Amino acid sequence: MRTHIKAQFAALAVFAFAAASAQAAETLDVVTFGGAYEAAAKKAYFEPFTQATGVNFSLESYDGGLAKLSAMEQAKNTTWDLMDLESNDAITACDEGLLKKFDKKSLGNTSDFIPGSISDCAVASMVWSTVYAYDASKLKTAPSTINDFFDLQKFPGKRGLRKSPKGSMEWALIADGVDPKDVYKVLGTPAGVDRAFKKLDTIKKNIVWWETGAQAPQLLADGAVVMTQAYNGRIDDAAKKDNKPFKIVWDAQVYDYEWWGIPKGAKHADTAAKFIISASQPKAYADLSKYIAYAPPRKDAIPLIDKQRLADLPTAPGNFKRAIQINPTFWADNADEINKRFQVWLTQ
């Protein structure tokens, strides 16, 4: 009888423990840009956090923008707990009250972070870059400057571009002779916008537009373009993991931060904040660079990265000579107006 009672108590204890564990285990709903970065984030950020806390992740892909987040907020039915954001979206979402404020003190010594990589509502997850790439097996002469991207005589063939003015406008001005440091001063004027579109006109008939990051290396692989604008991590991933003969041209790379932000109505906001703290540690940032060629926004992560791998990152000295940091404030203020003109330009 006592044995039976003990067995009952043991079963109840196991059930209670399992129930408590099930109740404690949360699932964070995360929206990212998918692809190679999401795969790297799983290994460097998500899986270690799950192992340490038991928290799981449900992942959804999107192409950026705030329309869906805004609609969720208006309906008071936010289903996302954590967002992967581009800089201008992170700024706008914070300004419009769509993101929760983030306690910077929870990160510890913030002086280790690159200036500008922590905002009121978000923390940078990595440094990435928009570059252009080509298939080395198909070009006898290697392009080396942004001017080559616009030179259809020297390098005939199609060009891949993201279906967005951001990045392409900057490139057009640099290829037209504007010093990288003066790009936003020029682009901030009506004459500068006209000048950028006029330069894009010179290759317009040869442009193949892409909308998701995975499409850019695929266009190269299919031979649909001879050069394509792309995210550096996508090209590095195709070259390293898939053995594609792709090469990156770093001249005039447009680099930016990627951000973690927590929607205002997130149901698991506290857990999401704990995740951001975990993903912002030096080792986590260094681990990300093992899986994709994106750089850490935290200086004390650099010594933890293999020296050979550092050469693949946007911030490597040899890659950074004529780099331009995207101006998120400019795009937050001007994106709507320029996008409207861009959409009209596409149809002309």
pLDDT tens digit sequence for 235-278: 999 999 899 999 999 999 999 999 999 999 999 999 999 999 99
Among residues 247, 243, 225, the alpha carbon closest in space to that of 143 is found at 247
Say how many domains are in the chain: 2
Q: Cα separation of 133 and 232, whole Å?
A: 8
If asked whether residues 199 and 265 sit together in one domain, one would say no
Same domain, 121 and 46: yes
Same domain assignment for residues 218 and 152: yes
Look at residues 113, 73, 139 and name the one whose alpha carbon lies nearest to residue 285: 113
* 285 and 190 inside one domain: no
Q: Are residues 278 and 250 in the same domain?
A: no
b vs e for 263-286, b when ≥16 Cβ sit within 10 Å of the residue's Cβ? bbbbebbebbbbbbbbbbbbebbb
CATH number of the domain bearing residue 138: 3.40.190.10
% of the chain residues with pLDDT over 90: 82
* Distance from C-alpha of 40 to C-alpha of 196, rounded to nearest angstrom: 35
Q: What percent of the chain has pLDDT over 70?
A: 93
- pLDDT of amino acid 11: 37
Regarding whether 277 and 219 lie in a shared domain, the answer is no
- Answer yes or no: do 52 and 132 share one domain: no
Report which of 32, 130, 44 is spatially closest to residue 84, judged by C-alpha positions.
32
CA distance 127 to 129: 7
* Reported pTM: 0.77
Confidence of residue 332 (pLDDT cuts 50, 70, 90): confident
pLDDT, residue 3, reads 42
In this structure, the answer to whether residues 89 and 133 fall within a common structural domain is: no
